[in-house]
Structure 1
Amino acid sequence: MKYRKLGNTDLELSVIAFGAWAAGGWMWGGSDENDAIKAIKAGFDEGMTSIDTAPIYGQGHSEVIVGKAIKELDRGKVQILTKFGMRWDLIKGDFGFKSKNNSGQDIDIYKYAGKESIIKECEDSLWRLGTDYIDLYQIHWPDVTTPIHETFEAVAQLIKDGKVRYAGVCNYSLEQMQEAEKTINIASNQIPYSMLRRAIEKTIVPYVLKKNKGILAYSPLERGLLTGKIKEDHHFNEGDHRAGLPFYQKENLIKVNQFLSNIEHIAKAKNASLGQLVLKWTVEQPGITVALAGARNAEQAVQNARSADINLSLAEIDYINAEVAKLDLK
């Protein structure tokens, strides 16, 4: 495993971090708690020391699972990255969307990052995680109803109180990052980035390179699509949000799988899977500090972690980039 300092902080993260969204079951057609805990532990044993979660993932369930997993690990060697600003238990802020919890009950999700809400969310997260501090505390989505300075004044107080080490954002535009920076040092932006989704290269990447910030790339495998395991006749479990995503429609599945077949020879030469090749390519891109990779079991976690050890030449990266450029998805 390789490690990188996050922006201008002294927080060192594993370049492949464990993404614990699926562990919470919500929007992923459920999950097995024991398998998820084993996956986190197996990843840690392979050097994947950074774990990203959020309260909304299973309405607390993901954080509880992460908390159970890290009880048997050396907390000082684990970096806990969690979030705030998405409430399913409070009607306040910017309405996000309707959903169902893991029990099938209807819930309304609100994006809300008012000061009192953040303080409460932090206390709840600390309790679920079974820890007394959070390494990186990130706003999950922008909240248009709360001034950005109010949000990060609250986070600054949490840092002063020793409950949070560093502040981060997720899904923030360049302008929102710049506004947040007026109140607090923003360590990073967690944002979608993959071979199929590269828009941030025009805006966010130049900024973080100039200002020495980090990028946590989420969905680098496009929720499993770039592993090559999802064919055009794939059946999704009920409640699996991927079934309705554009990338997963038949026409795009065919194109993506053809692209993957074009680069598969590089993976085979490295004795690696396609998923491992994609993860390694991701963390080799300018500005990308960490790639988040989810795993439903220990074997997947180990494979994700070992992707960090693959060596890619500049020629191989250039070849992959050229193939990526040919993709024309609808």
Structure 2
Amino acid sequence: MEYRKLGNTDLNLSVITYGAFAIGGNMWGGNEQKDSINSVRASIDHGVTTLDTAPFYGFGLSEEMIGQAIKGYDRSKIQLLTKFGLVWDGSNKGHGEHFFDAEEAGKAIPVYKYTSKANVIKEVEESLTRLQTDYIDLLQVHWPDNSTPIAETMEALEILIQQGKIRAAGVSNYSVDQVKEARQTLDIVSNQVGYSMLNRTIEHDLVPYALENNLGIIVYSPMERGLLTGKYFKEGQLKNNDHRNGYFQQFDLKKVEAFLATLTPLAHDKGVSLAQLVLRWTSLQPAISIVLAGSRNAEQAIINAKSMDISIFPDEMSFINLALAKI
């Protein structure tokens, strides 16, 4: 495993970071809690010291399972990353910005973006309880909330840093302009954004800004929620309540399948899976600090962790990028 310093902090994070969205179950067709907890522990046992979660994932369930999974490990050697600002239980009392309606047990649940100072403080206490810890290593705004001034949200994060409840603050899904505005109040250290072989828009603005301003970039969906593993094209069938049924339709699936077929011989030559090759490619892109990879069981977790053992040589990188240009 490789480890990288995040921004100007003393946080030394594992480049492959455990992404805990899927183990929450909601939007992913459910989950098996025992398998999920074992996947977290297998990740830690194979050098993945950094775990990224959020209250919204499973409506608290993901954080609770992370808290259970890290029992018995040295907390000082594990970095817990979580978020705030997506409210689903009505505690915003009519405030905030409606985001979308999630589905739970066949029932529509309105989800709001809400990042007021009072809500930040409230959510952190709830996360600390679920995670069974007394501090969070990196706390991130989950999504920009247009109903709350960015400065107000940053002021709340600064208070939490002073109180020792969080070690550092970051954002997620922020534009470069929003990052700049946030940094007028607080020196946020990272921006967590979607990035993959199929989604490289951040290369135009966020990557250059990050390189020039010592901002860490945390990448989610590097495998496009499993599409770039190639399994979808072999198995194809997803549960009806799996959000990926709609998510995958944004891509030209025939071109994606052809691209993966082009990469398959290279993966075979290296004795690795497509998923591992994709994760390693992502980790080697400019300005990328860490890469989130989710897993449903211990086997998948170990495969993700071992992706950092792969070497991609310059001629192989050129081959991959040339194939990407054809998508």
- Report the TM-score range of the alignment, normalised by the length of the smaller protein: over 0.9
Q: CA deviation at 1:238?
A: 2.3
User: What secondary structure sits across from 2:228 in the alignment?
Assistant: helix
Q: Tell me which of 143, 160, 163 is aligned to 2:162.
A: 160
With the length of structure 1 as denominator, give the TM-score of the two structures.
0.96
Q: Please say if 1:244 is aligned against 2:260.
A: no
* Aligned position for 1:208: 210
Q: Please say if 1:68 is aligned against 2:68.
A: yes
Q: Please say if 1:151 is aligned against 2:153.
A: yes
Q: Please say if 1:185 is aligned against 2:173.
A: no
Output aligned runs, 1:1-330, within 5 Å.
Answer: 1-90=1-90, 91-101=94-104, 103-231=105-233, 234-245=236-247, 247-248=248-249, 252-327=252-327
Counterpart residue identity of residue 294, structure 1: G
Count of residue pairs brought into register by the alignment: 324
Q: Distance in 2 between matches of 1:233 and 1:16?
A: 26
Q: Distance in 1 between matches of 2:136 and 2:268?
A: 39
Q: Distance in 2 between matches of 1:269 and 1:45?
A: 27
Deviations along 1:191-233, whole A, 9 cap, x unmatched?
0000000000001000000011111110000000000111177
Deviations along 1:268-321, whole A, 9 cap, x unmatched?
121110000000000000011111000000000000000011011111111111
Q: Distance in 2 between matches of 1:75 and 1:225?
A: 33
Q: Distance in 2 between matches of 1:165 and 1:67?
A: 18
Mark the runs of 5 or more structure 2 residues left unpaired by the alignment.
none
With over 3 angstroms needed to count, the CA separation of the structure-2 counterparts of 1:217 and 1:106, relative to structure 1, is same
Q: Contact 1:232–1:254 at 8 Å: present in 2 too?
A: no
Q: Distance in 2 between matches of 1:326 and 1:232?
A: 22
| Aligned-pair identity (%) | 54
User: What secondary structure sits across from 2:325 in the alignment?
Assistant: helix
Q: Distance in 2 between matches of 1:177 and 1:99?
A: 27
Counterpart residue identity of residue 93, structure 1: G
Counterpart residue identity of residue 44, structure 1: I
Counterpart residue identity of residue 313, structure 1: F
With the length of structure 2 as denominator, give the TM-score of the two structures.
0.97
With over 3 angstroms needed to count, the CA separation of the structure-2 counterparts of 1:179 and 1:16, relative to structure 1, is same
RMSD over aligned Cα, in angstroms? 1.2
Q: Distance in 1 between matches of 2:179 and 2:110?
A: 27
Q: CA deviation at 1:185?
A: 1.1
With over 3 angstroms needed to count, the CA separation of the structure-2 counterparts of 1:233 and 1:51, relative to structure 1, is closer
User: What secondary structure sits across from 2:252 in the alignment?
Assistant: helix
Q: Distance in 1 between matches of 2:130 and 2:206?
A: 32
Counterpart residue identity of residue 66, structure 1: I
Mark the runs of 5 or more structure 1 residues left unpaired by the alignment.
none
Q: CA deviation at 1:106?
A: 2.2
Q: Contact 1:16–1:305 at 8 Å: present in 2 too?
A: yes
Q: CA deviation at 1:72?
A: 2.1
Q: CA deviation at 1:248?
A: 4.0
Q: Distance in 2 between matches of 1:325 and 1:72?
A: 47
